[in-house]
Amino acid sequence: MKNFRVRFAPSPTGALHIGGVRTALYNYLLARKMGGTFILRIEDTDQTRYMPGAEEYIMEALRWCGIEPEEGPGLGGDLGPYRQSERKDLYGKYAQQLVDNGHAYYAFDTAEELEALRERLKAAGNHAPKYDASTRLVMKNSLTLSEEEVKSRLESGEPFTIRLKVVPGHTVVVKDLVRGEVSFQTDELDDKIMLKSDGMPTYHMANIVDDHFMKISHVIRGEEWLPSTAHHVLLYRALNWEATMPQFAHLPLILKPTGKGKLSKRDGDRLGIPVFPLSWKGATPEDSFTGFREFGFDPQAVLNFLAFLGWNPGTEQEIFALDELAEAFSIERIGKSGARFDFDKARWFNEQYIMATPDEELAQKLRPLVDEQGYSVNDDFLTAFCGLMKERVTFLPDFLEKGYYFFKPVESYDDKNIRKRWKPERRPLFEVLQAALASAEDYSAAGVEQVVKDFMTANELKFGDVLPILRITLAGTMKGPSVFDMMALLGKAEVNDRLTKGMDYCDRAKLIA
């Protein structure tokens, strides 16, 4: 469907929240599924909250995830510009048209006056103070002021806003693709500001104008927008664009892992989990966050995890490559209720992706971290290493933390197990094994295994007598890959060296104990 056009419209006010990434993902997936177009639009209409670097962050995050838009700032597309600050005149024009057609009006109320109105209404027992049909007539606007007065205020350059004139007594029905029909009474709707006193449009105005001219067919966004959709429908009507109004789909929100409310950036450091795709360095430490990428997540795993937060294919398949997601995705199967951010599940997805990634590829991804640590190993070594460790890690950095001893000497030994298993009187015996290993011709895993087995049968020893000792002297820990694989990868000289050092350590540990 060539005319299936969707957009992701974030505001560059800071790092892009993971919920935003999911919204982008759903838009992207639907665009691909429908053979449509995925558009990025930057909604930078709030001068005060604008954050330099945020737009770049958004682009980089989408690129990292592999869900890049086809149209957007710097990406081309015939219906740009795709940055709202560059479309300012357009919004002014249509806001004016709204006024001319009687669907909106000028308002001159100051912030103080607005605040006074709220206070007055609250004092009168109204818990939902609104600027609407019931109050607009006591405020300073082109509905209450004389024509001359309005004209002179406008001409004298007095700041003004343009408000939508909501007519009470009607019902607005929003057809939502995930929620069905949702009705709102216009009596409940306030006269939303369309054009701010700085000449910039509000979200509502800019959104409708842009979606119209960018020929957006489906608006897929977070549930927080559902309440204002009634205003949006009213706007389409006032602008006479209802015939081509896009269809709406409001996504369930992502909730906190624990506690109440929707997931927030605070939950990140509160629980030690990422809530942003990429790390973000804000002005202060409190405003800086570690991203999924820096945590060592595979972007595909993140996408897979995110896709299932609010959607499911209806089958029991859970692991989906991006292409498969695009194929299987559908609006009909998007859920209605908010989904808790389940970090354990995210970890599981990442483990699945790491295990499914070919060793060579893992080695490539690990290379920068290896170099950063100053370890010098070749690609073959790294590839083999990844093969040995991939079933034991959750995140990329885990490889180097859990398997550090493949790159440098053992830093700490498991004393508890040494006391339990090391028998000093057997050292001469192990030295026989050490010698046998040192003269082994075949140092492959199978080769050393044979040497060890021969040694065991010759001395009537069991695996349990020998392997733990080898493991602990070579790695310091009881955890890790097959001892024979470890030995083969470490190599003859290194193994010989570690055996000596390890047994020395064991003797000492035993003496102290």
Q: Between 482 and 500, whose beta carbon lies closer to RNA?
A: 482
Q: Is 265 considered catalytic here?
A: yes
d(CA 485, CA 445): 5
3-state helix, strand, coil in the chain (%, to 5): 50, 10, 35
User: Which residue's CB is nearer to RNA, number 349 or number 505?
Assistant: 349
Packed helices 299-307 and 18-33: angle between N→C axes, nearest 10 degrees: 80
Task: Say how far apart CA 241 and CA 218 lie, in whole Å.
Answer: 15
Give the nearest distance from C-beta 135 to RNA in angstroms.
11
Q: Which two tokens stand for residue 268?
A: 């990140």
Q: Give the DSSP H or E segment for 483.
A: helix 483-490
Handedness of CA 375, 380, 381, 384 (dihedral sign): positive
Q: How far is the CB of 23 from RNA (least distance, A)?
A: 11
- What is the closest distance, in whole angstroms, from the C-beta atom of residue 374 to RNA in the complex? 26
472 contact partners, CB below 8 Å, separation of at least 6: 413, 414, 417, 418, 421, 422, 478, 502, 506
| Peptide bond just before 81 cis, omega within 30 deg | yes
Whichever of 223 and 285 has its CB closer to RNA, that residue is 223
Pick from 227, 228, 223: nearest CA to 202: 228
Q: Which is nearer to RNA, 197 or 372 (CB)?
A: 197
Q: Is 53 helix (H, G, I), strand (E, B) or coil?
A: coil
Q: Which of 2, 265, 336, 402 is catalytic?
A: 265
Q: Provide the minimum distance between the beta carbon of 491 and RNA in the complex, in angstroms, as a whole number.
A: 17
- CB atoms closer than 10 angstroms to residue 385: 25
> Smallest gap, in angstroms, from Cβ of residue 196 to RNA?
4
Distance in Å, CB of 226 to RNA, minimum: 5
Which of 153, 262 has the CB closer to RNA? 262
CA separation for the pair 509, 502 (Å, rounded): 10
In the complex with RNA, the residue whose CB is nearer, 305 or 505, is: 305
Report the run of H or E that residue 466 belongs to, with start and end: helix 463-475
Q: What residues are annotated to the active site?
A: 265
